[in-house]
Structure 1
């Protein structure tokens, strides 16, 4: 006799076949010795089949979603790498106009005429031996111009290093000169400045060169501190007195995260600082609108450091 479609064993066998399982695993299979026929209700078997079919559809849906997310993530990653590549190409072209040397005590030699033919806003060159920091510095009419534009006017994710538009060019004229740079996650621009919030990395950097057409400035790191982006106390350029200036530097030292052990003594003889400003990603320093915080590395001319320490011995 043909198999009764209402027979529970037949229904479960078909279900197992659909799921790719052996029919020998079907509960109540009489082909196995010692098994007795069990007659489950028809409705129960159909509910079991429906649940398995739903689970199968959900599994397929999740697989599709996962594949779509992977493709999207790959696209974002590829787009980001292309943006980084564009920035690298721009900066490599500019790097050809500066010659740097293995000896960190030797200042870079810069072709100012060549750089000005590309962009007359160039004011200096920043080089930190032992890092990837080796970039031209520009000064625009505001602090937005070079945030995401290259020296040739192209939109690039890195922008250019730029001096605060309120500083007197070419820098190191005011009591505080400020240079801004992005904290890019591919290790370029000011990423290695941001990393100096670790005392060991801070100690590794002994020399920072800021070169202008008026001459080189050899600097040393003094301290690093954090701030919010809306903290206008960061952008102070001149002071009413030397005492006020030293008190300001002392307040920065009080909230510093890394510093020289002799920073207090150095501050007493400091007349100029160069502050390198970049982003950080510490939530406690985010503005209310979500703007990320700032890491600020304060550097002092080596001649002023030497003079300050010598005067106190």
Structure 2
């Protein structure tokens, strides 16, 4: 988001009259025939001659221009500079106030977006501390009251990933719309969503789940952070919970690909051999060292989490997970 037209979101020394080319003070012009600029008349009064008056007037004018009331270095010249600096300071103050206002609105947008999903998490009643996969239950009825497009929940222990999953009419619907249906504000976290090309009940061999890479490390931002080996190794398990089935997944690769590389989006495979070939390709292209604790031959279902890369528009970070356990939840529908 570009708030100040440059980001997505970031002594003049006074010169004297002579230095500026202005007039300098001049002495009164001397008369042609007397040392005193004024000559005495018959009555004893001092009166300048016509030529002397002209010379004196010119000299006095020059004096005024050099440093007098109307000179460049005088009162009016200084007032002109003062007005310029006053205007500059006023403009700077306005720009600062507007910038702070925009930053405040953006900050509020991030805070509000986080609060929306914190409230939804509380509503879900997700039981995270249970040791048995079947005991990890979600209050689907409460979530449907807020959004009928709810199809699942994604949870990765030790990270910020803990969100409802929706499925829209297309893959653009929930890019800006949050779970409550709001698209207001300058910050749009959208909603984690299942690809419209996938079956809504997660029955495909490979389900693709998308989320934004947010600057406040929410939504799917952690996936891009997992391009660091230590970060990848620290959180290897994630859960996909649905009304009919729960899945525990282990990550086996993290690819960073161009957004035009659509061959990675394969929801189903011709046979098991084709799935193994797909997984091997993901491991070979992985940005981190692939773990060896996932038995590819035993994996029958894949879940792929996708977010934007560092440049947002041109690359995608693709976290590949294989289901290693599944069970019907205790409150299965």
TM-score by length of 2: 0.67
**1:227-268 deviation per Cα after TM superposition (whole angstroms, max 9, x unaligned):** 2223212321112232222222222222211243317x6334
Unaligned runs of 5+ in 1: 9-41, 305-313
Q: Work out the CA distance in 2 between the residues paired with 1:190 and 1:57.
A: 52
Counterparts of 1:54 and 1:258 in 2: how far apart (Å)? 64
- The match for 1:118 is 146
User: Are 2:222 and 1:192 equivalent residues in the alignment?
Assistant: yes
Task: Name whichever structure is richer in helix by fraction.
Answer: 1
Q: 1:43-192 counterparts in 2 under 5 A?
A: 63-64=89-90, 66-95=92-121, 96-102=123-129, 108-155=136-183, 157-171=188-202, 173-192=203-222
Q: Which moved more, 1:55-64 or 1:88-97?
A: 55-64
- 1:293 equivalent in alignment to 2:315: yes
Pairs aligned (count): 259
Distance in structure 1 (CA, Å) of the matches to 2:273 and 2:81: 75
Counterpart of 2:16 in structure 1 is none
2:288 aligned partner: 258
Task: Decide whether aligned partners of structure 1 residues 258 and 105 sit closer, same or farther in structure 2, where only a CA change above 3 A counts.
Answer: farther
Deviations 1:99-127 (A, max 9, x none): 23346765632011222222221111111
With over 3 angstroms needed to count, the CA separation of the structure-2 counterparts of 1:275 and 1:7, relative to structure 1, is farther
User: RMSD in angstroms over aligned alpha carbons?
Assistant: 3.2
Q: Is the counterpart of residue 218 in structure 1 residue 251 in structure 2?
A: no
Q: Which residue of 1 aligns with 2:305?
A: 276
- What CA deviation, in whole Å up to 9, does each residue of 1:173-210 have, x standing for no partner? 22210111111111211112221111111111032111
Greater shift in the superposed pair: 80-89 or 128-137 = 80-89
Is contact 1:222-1:259 (8 Å) kept? no
Alignment match, 2:232: 202
Q: Using the alignment, how far apart are the partners of 2:79 and 2:130 within structure 1?
A: 71
For the Cα contact (< 8 Å) 2:247–2:325, is it kept in 1? no
Query: Is 1:244 matched up with 2:274?
Result: yes
Cα 1:7–1:124 change in 2 (3 A) is same
Q: Name the SS of the counterpart of 2:320 in structure 1.
A: strand
SS at match of 2:113: helix
> d(CA) in 2 for partners of 1:266 and 1:47?
86
Shift of 1:86: 3.2
